[in-house]
A = this chain, B = another copy of it.
Amino acid sequence: MTPTRISTPTPGVAGRLEQAIETLIEERGLAVGDRLPSERALSEMLGASRNSLREALMRLATRGRVTIRKGGTVIAEPAENRWTHKTINDPLAPFVAGNPGFGQDVLEVRLGLEGQAAYHAALRAEPRDIEAIRRCFDDLADCHEKGDAAAEAHADAAFHLAIADASHNAVLRSVMSSMFGLLQSSISQSLDKLYMVPRTFERLSQQHQALVDAITAGDALAARLASDTHIEFVAETIRIIDEERARRARAETLRTTLSRT
């Protein structure tokens, strides 16, 4: 029984270097694609042999932090959409093919995801995050005025993704990104549905505004409430429209059937 010594993940020099390099990356504010100092330079400035330094680099490489190639090791993209797009879109793709009610399923998922996004965005958003969200909000209004449904759908997705970005949760952002990517083709259709109801955009815009305000104010609970309200409204509206359309379709079917006699 050795409660003091838990299973040591990185007991050696390489582990220390691994953390040191990550610290160094953050201190120097190295962005994606920037080149890391050479192995020789790093090994000298960190006081370790090039062997151990190389081992640390390899660990960082397998973790996806850096991409190590001849001519210079560079910073890799942080926590990519690589995995989610494959693991989520692939098994999901079959459902997109003409599955009614699919939209409602997605909205239920969005209700959970975006509530969390809004909540943590309110807690963690930095000024530049707020700025990005507001910019997306304005873009959305512009696209609506121009009457470009496709662009508006894209702007709508961008707005919600900006909130996900502000939550500073790579997984959340990745999942939501996959979801929107999957829906992009059908979102404009949803918008068409939405705007069949009078004064819809005004209400959507008000909800978006409330969401932005809550995040800006740092009120996490209000942000989650605003997000939930928004998604619920969209879900309810689409549900009503679908029912209405189904009613008309039945009526049409009935009429043509009767006239066929």
> Which residues of A pack against B, CB within 8 Å?
6-7, 10, 16, 19, 47, 51, 55, 58-59, 62-64, 79, 82-84, 87-88, 90-92, 94-95, 98-99, 102, 105-106, 108-109, 111-116, 120, 167, 169-172, 174-175, 177-179, 181-182, 192, 196, 245, 249, 253, 256-257, 260
A78 to chain B, nearest CB (A): 9
- Contact B91–A177 (Cβ < 8 Å): yes
Taken together, the copies of this chain in the complex come to: 2
Q: Contact: A91 with B174, CB < 8 Å?
A: yes
How many Å lie between the Cα of A87 and that of B184 in the bound state? 14
Most chain B CB within 10 A, of A87, A98, A112, is at A112
Report which of B98, B177, B192 forms a contact with A59, defined as CB distance below 8 A: B98
Chain B min CB distance to A130 (Å): 20
Knowing A58-B55, A87-B181, A91-B174 are in contact, say whether A169-B98 is a contact too (CB < 8 A): no
A88 is contacted by which of B120, B169, B174, B245 (Cβ under 8 Å)?
Answer: B174
Overall SS of chain A's interface = helix
Chain B nearest CB: distance from A151 CB in Å? 19
Bound complex: CA A99 to CA B18 (Å) = 12
Alpha-carbon separation in the docked complex, A177 to B63 (Å): 22
Docked complex Cα distance between A105 and B33 (Å): 24
